[in-house]
Each structure stands twice: as structure tokens, then as C-alpha cells.
Amino acid sequence: MAGGLALLFPGHAAAASFWQVSPRSPEAASIAFLFWLVMAVAALFLFGVLGSLVYIVIRFRARPGQPDPPPNYGSLRLEVWWTLIPFGLLVVVFGFMVREMNKEIAPRPNALEVTVVGRQWWWEYRYPGGAVAANELHIPAGRQIRLNLQSGDVIHNFWVPELAGKEQTIPGTTNVWTFSAERPGTYVGACSEYCGGQHGWMRLSVIAQEPPEFDRWLAAQREPPASGVLSAHASALALYAANACGGCHTLAGVSQGKAGPDLTHVGGRSTLGAGVLRNTPENMARWLKDPQAVKPGALMPNFRLSDEQARQMAALLMDLK
């Protein structure tokens, strides 16, 4: 299992789990409770019906010489009961579900608000104060997180099973969802609504950090790259300009493109292409050389960089921590 998960989530340790009834947050615990409640009701019915069936077959079986029993077709009393009992149970489950959904969308004055934008095929996260990240959602452990879920193109579905229920990102609307992570750790998730050819590579992770550590991370994300980093990669920056990378990507102090992931701190992420590759200098160069070979259908075109050009660009991007 752990090995399989490491394959599915190349950037993460095998500790990450995709098992939806191992809640690591109060919100996921409520959802797991609902799951077990429905499971218990369904099991009660399954064994109740099967048990009665076995009992009836044995108890009322035809015996030699016995006449046919009187038919009870159309018994109003029976029909009323076997309609009312399931109906009542469904009403109870529905009530629990609505209560849970209302809890998740109720206003939270002290929550950290993050805007999530689902895109083909990656996730954009916008933090207060202007920091923009991709695919890896850093949050402070123990604090309520208020997600404003939007879409840049088609319907996606943000899902981190251990922390929160599925919530759609729909073009032209904003869905809200609240969750938290009780303890620091990495929690894996994925887009859970088919959204095109690379839906399977629309992975995400939530990285819950101790609050002071998160504050340092967020403060660093708000900063442009150190000027020393840019000047050390002058030839890569010339390539960046020559290939119009800035038309799609933001690199604070250099370009303002919005179509692709913000590159200002791309070197600090653990995966590329929403989980398709580990973020290493070699993989970055591979991605830059031919993105379509790595993730067919991604918006990033092939700029036909030479090996040396891809290496230089990768060196710049990896230094943007």
C-alpha cells in the first residue's frame, strides 16, 4: 500500500494516506461518522432482510398435505410500514448531512482565507497579502481554513480525504468550504471530477505546518526572489524573455502572466505538473525540454530548448525557493 501511494504521489513520503475513513480533522471526522452511520443503517437492512428471508423460507415452507396459505397481496398495513421505516431513516440521514454541510459553509471570522482556483490541470492557491502558490497548499495546523473555490476553466473537485469532503470548483461561481488539520503533516488529495485528459495528474497536497513555521513560509512567499538569484542566472533570464515565458507565468519583478503557475517560488515545491514528476533539476530540465511528452495536453508548449538551455532554465527555476 505504501509503495503504491509513493508511486501515485511521487513528491511525498509514504506516510500520506488516501483512505477516506481515517480522519485527521474534525470536519473529516464528521464525514466519516456519516459514512459509518449510513453503513450501519444499510447493514441493519441487509441482515434484517436476509435474516427474515431465511426465517420465512424455513418457518413457512410448504409441507406435504398442507393447503396453500391465504394470499396477503395488497396488505395496506405492510405497505405503509415498509414505506414509512425507510423514509424515516432517510430523513434522519438527510438531516445529519444538511447539518454537516451547513456547519462547513457557516462564516468563520478567524479562519485563514485561501482562494483555490482549479485549472486544467493544476491548482492555484491565493493567500491574503498576494502570495500565490500551486498544487501544495500550505496551512497552519490547528487553525480553521476557509477555502473560496473557483475555476479557471471547467468543473474540478477539490478533495483531500483525510481532511475534508469533496467540493466542486465551478466556473463563474465561488463555493466555500471550511476545514482544518489537527496536526502538522502532509495530506494528499486529488481532483475528483473528470476534467479532461490529464485529470489523473491533478494531484494536490495539503502541508500543515506549526503556525510559526507557516508564518515564515507565507512571509517568504510574499517576497520576490532575492536580486542575487536573478543576477546569477542572467542567461536563463534572457531565455525566459526570448521565449515569452512571462506571457503565461508570473515571476515577481520580471513578469506578470496569469495562465500558468506562479514561478516566483517554484523551486520550493516538491512536484512538477501537479504531481507528475518530483521537482529535481533533472526533471525540471526534462519538463522544459518537452512538456507534452511528460503531460500530454498541458498548456505549456514545447519551446525546443537545447539541452544546455533547458539546464540553465532549470537551474534558475530551482533556485527560486
> Using CB under 6 A, which of 164, 202, 266, 316 touches ligand CUA?
202
Element (H, E) at 126: strand 122-126
Backbone angles phi, psi at 29, to 5 degrees: -65, -40
Q: How far is CA 157 from CA 56, 122, 125, 161, 218, in A?
A: 47, 11, 14, 12, 25
> Using CB under 6 A, which of 86, 194, 244, 302 touches ligand CUA?
194
203 lies in the binding site for ligand CUA (CB under 6 A): no
320 lies in the binding site for ligand CUA (CB under 6 A): no
**Residue nearer to ligand CUA on the CB measure, 156 or 265:** 156
**Residue nearer to ligand CUA on the CB measure, 20 or 255:** 20
Q: Which residues pair with 156 in a beta bridge?
A: 169
290 lies in the binding site for ligand CUA (CB under 6 A): no
Q: How far apart are CA 257 and CA 85, in angstroms?
A: 58
For residue 295, the one-letter residue type is: K
204 lies in the binding site for ligand CUA (CB under 6 A): no
Binding range to ligand CUA, per CB under 6 A, among 57-65, 101-109, 127-135, 189-197? 189-197
SS3 260: coil
- Nearest CA to 162 out of 275, 16, 36, 269 is that of 16
Element (H, E) at 32: helix 26-59
Q: How far apart are CA 268 and CA 229, in angstroms?
A: 14
113 lies in the binding site for ligand CUA (CB under 6 A): no
By CB under 6 A, the count of residues binding ligand CUA is: 9
166 lies in the binding site for ligand CUA (CB under 6 A): no
Binding range to ligand CUA, per CB under 6 A, among 52-60, 129-137, 194-202, 219-227? 194-202
> Using CB under 6 A, which of 24, 138, 146, 156 touches ligand CUA?
156
Element (H, E) at 205: strand 203-209
**Residue nearer to ligand CUA on the CB measure, 117 or 230:** 117
195 lies in the binding site for ligand CUA (CB under 6 A): yes
Residues that bind ligand CUA (CB under 6 A): 118, 121, 156, 191, 193-195, 199, 202
